[in-house]
Amino acid sequence: MKSAPGRIRIIGGQLRNSRLDVPDLPGLRPTAERVRETLFNWLAPVIAGARCLDLCAGTGALGIEALSRGAASVQFVERDARAAQALRDNLSRLKAPGGQVAAVDALAFLHGAAQPYGLVFLDPPFALAMWEPIAQRLEQDGWLAPGAWIYVESPRSSALRLPNTWVEHREGAAGEVRYALYRRVLAAA
């Protein structure tokens, strides 16, 4: 099912079939509906009560989908002021509690006081190639809870160097996009 231009839909949970307004911004690439459905099927056993971080949130579709499916809270981080405002407007219109929006660059946000999250969505604009610096900061600065889940969306042709504590759980591809779910696994001391 294709969405009308400028709108995408939430596919599961309390907000199922709700529409999100999507601003017309260069480089904004909402995660495809089919990919979101697969991802949240993978996350079904762990999403209820999860504390989530949606970095480079864009439309916020991943984080709002998480809230819809029972996540306790989502911290959205989006550097584009117009996208951040559209995200705030969507959260308000949907009466989705538990979502906070920070209109700041992801790396700048990660220079703040760390709070560990159990689920992180990492889907930066492909042209910015920010996966590795963000992943390093997440891992080294206390942003990930032990056993955290990390979703990464990237160009299919990219070979990312992610922390060795991130163990691939599942992966897939859709067109030119590769998506993967990792689990943070720490070595026993």
> How do residues 96-146 score in pLDDT, each as one tens digit?
889 999 999 999 999 999 999 999 999 988 878 899 999 999 999 999 999
Beta strands 144-155; 99-102: pairing state: unpaired
Q: Which domain holds residue 139?
A: 7-184
User: Is the pLDDT assigned to residue 1 strictly greater than 70?
Assistant: no
In a domain, 85, yes or no: yes
Contact (CB, 8 A) for 70 and 138? no
The structural domain count of the chain equals 1
Q: Is the pLDDT score of 5 beyond 60?
A: no
**pLDDT of amino acid 3:** 37
Q: What is the pLDDT of residues 21-39, one digit of tens each?
A: 787 787 777 888 899 999 9
CATH of the domain at 139: 3.40.50.150
Residue 2 lies in a domain: no
Residue 41 within any structural domain of the chain: yes
Q: Which pLDDT score is estimated for 134?
A: 96
- Give residue 188's pLDDT band: very low, low, confident or very high (50, 70, 90): low
What predicted TM-score, i.e. pTM, was given to this entire model?
0.91
Give per-residue pLDDT as tens, 55-104. 999 999 999 999 999 999 999 999 999 999 999 999 999 998 899 999 99
pLDDT of 43 above 90: yes
Which band of pLDDT confidence, cut at 50, 70 and 90, is reported for residue 187? Answer: low
In a domain, 71, yes or no: yes
What φ, ψ does residue 171 adopt, rounded to 5°? -145, 165
CA-to-CA dists, residue 142 to 9, 36, 38, 168, angstroms: 33, 27, 28, 20
189 found inside a domain: no
Q: Which residue has the higher pLDDT, 142 or 4?
A: 142
Q: Tokens 């891992």 sit at which residue?
A: 139
Cβ atoms of 33 and 11 within 8 Å: the answer is yes
Element at 109 (helix H, strand E): helix 106-109
Element (H, E) at 65: helix 61-68
In a domain, 1, yes or no: no
